[in-house]
A and B are shown apart, each in its own frame.
Chain A
Amino acid sequence: MIRSVPRSRLFDGLYLAYLVAFFVYLALPLLVTAAFAFNDSPFPSLPWKGFTLDWYLADGSAGRTGLFHDDGLLRSLWVSGKIAFWVTLFSVALGCVNAVLFERLQFRGKEFLYVLMLLPLVIPGVILGVSILVFYSGMANDASAAWGIELDLFRPGLTLVVMGQVTFIATLSTLVIAARLRKFDPQLEEAALNLGATPLVAWFTVTLPWLLPSIFGAAAMAFLMSFENFNTTVMLTGSDTPLTVALFNRLREGSTPVLNAVALLLMVLSALLAMLVIKRPRS
């Protein structure tokens, strides 16, 4: 079934039909979600009652509150942004350090540590969240009960959410950056050292620029993964709910087109972010 092996017309036709069906299956839920963000009806369902921007712009005076006037959702958007910022920072920094550690240095027990590094990928996200909750929040409880010390930092909230997400996002960014570092020609760095650069200067002027595309890629991925994460986040969140958790709570109360409006906004933002990374000229 490769190009050089003859195929029957019927087979080709069936194969094409399958491809089309597959991509319809992929696109349909998203197209539908996007379309109902503009339907002039209080329920995201047929019949189509005309085009409106109310679900973005309405200020609540006519019984409809659009996304841009919905304080609860806007606040959770801001919370998610803050979390994603810190997660990206920590994950990418850890990813750079780990990549150098595993690609450049030789030391005893490296294989074992590498497997440990991969471990967060094979632990379900809910478990990552639960274990961090049990350890840190339990510690805060014990400290409070035994010595009266309040470790509010380790109560469910932003810090714990950031910690929970960094746990697995750092592994992913390590893999992305390490893959690029593997293709680096170490002779370039040696040349810099021969020409009189100190190791630190060589790193910042030769190696780091080479890694930059992968660092941007890892950062975009980390930001998106953090922004979209639910399973780990839901276990660790406190009173400041991030967007996915807030949306989930809304959805349980019943669906309104405002949810579609948020969904579409998220899709557009992540598409822009992905585009930015793909379009960057490769060096």
Chain B
Amino acid sequence: MKPAANRLSLWLLLTPFLLWIVLLVLLPHLQMLRVSLQVRESWDTLEWGLQQYQNFFTESYYWRTFLRTGAMSLFTTFLTLIIAFPIAWYIARLARGRSKSVLFLACLIPFWASELVRTYGWMILLRESGLFSSWLQALGWVDGPVEMLYNDVAVIIGLVYNALLFMVVPLVTTLDGMDENLVEAGYDLGGGHGTVLREIVVPWAMPGIVSGCIVVFMLTLGSYLTPVLMGGKDSAWFTQQIFTQFITRFNWEQGAALGVLLLVLSSVIVWLGLKVSGQSLRKVMG
């Protein structure tokens, strides 16, 4: 093809991409940043200022929720990794033939239901009039109804449940490609289970671990339904505050500032995860 035709086809293909990225991602986020730096003096005058960010640091309710959300998301990510690893290992290395694909598909089944449906299922199980409470009473282990919903443990159970798929799939993919001779060599050279796991398996699975952890952390940090519906009065989630500012209080400036802060937190942690493990976004996501 001639260079001119080449140029033309490049621009034809580049235009939709640029429209999408610029109009739906870059401009809206820049505008959000701009709005977060504007202070409303009266109903129609705006000034540049850091008022909204000051509010965040002076109102302990904001930054406490922020830290809590971050810490609980990290914990959920860690827990999901610990729970998912043996399952991924079994599917990738121990199961064979048909049972392998059946088990893998079984991991996907819960995700044919939306997050709302999954959360609702947990509510039916855990609440005071729920199944677990009824079963415990039927067994005679407790005297009256037990409330297991509306606390942090319930929130974590729900968050881990929502996140599992996004951990199991990348782990299975990387573990599947591992050469078993490496593991055998590790044992032959006198390594115990712990040594082999630490020196051979984990380094090999690192790309999968990192990509699973990043996706899970992101999803958990940005989740709304599970913490709102399963959490108690004191377990506010940061997305909930953003929602309140925008929808209930119509305070877009404050909401935008909180949004920027959430975005910064998630970007920093994702970036740190990539740096510490020596991976790149392209390798992990693409």
Contacts and interface: CB of A to CB of B under 8 A. Distances in A.
Contact of B122 (A29, A134, A260, A270): A29
B24 interface: yes
Nearest to A141: B252
Contacts of B214: 122
B112 A130 contact: no
Interface in A96-114: 97-98, 100-101, 105, 107, 111, 113-114
Contacts of A224: 112
Interface residues on A, range: 35 or more
Contact of A46 (B114, B131, B222, B285): B131
B164 interface: yes
Interface in B204-224: 214-215, 218, 221-224
A115 B271 CA distance: 13
A37 to B, nearest CB: 11
Contact of B282 (A19, A43, A114, A244): A114
A138 B107 contact: no
B134 A45 contact: yes
A227 to B, nearest CB: 7
B27 interface: yes
Given A15-B90, A22-B87, A170-B20, A107 B10 contact: yes
B223 to A, nearest CB: 7
Interface residues of B, dominant DSSP: helix
Nearest to B126: A29
A30 B110 contact: yes
A21 to B, nearest CB: 10
Contacts of B83: 22
A120 B16 contact: no
Given A230-B115, A270-B113, A134 B286 contact: no
Given A26-B106, A167-B25, A230-B116, A135 B285 contact: no
A169 to B, nearest CB: 11
A45 B130 contact: yes
Contacts of A52: none
Contact of B31 (A44, A115, A131, A266): A131
B154 interface: no
A5 B263 CA distance: 46
A132 B112 CA distance: 27
A234 B243 contact: yes
Interface stretch (A58-66, A209-217, A247-255): A247-255
Contacts of A120: 25
A186 interface: no
Given A5-B187, A105-B10, A125-B222, 13 more contacts: A1-B183, A23-B106, A26-B106, A27-B109, A30-B117, A45-B130, A97-B17, A124-B222, A134-B252, A136-B28, A228-B113, A234-B224, A260-B124
The 6 closest A-B pairs by CB, nearest first: A124-B222, A29-B121, A228-B114, A131-B28, A135-B28, A270-B112
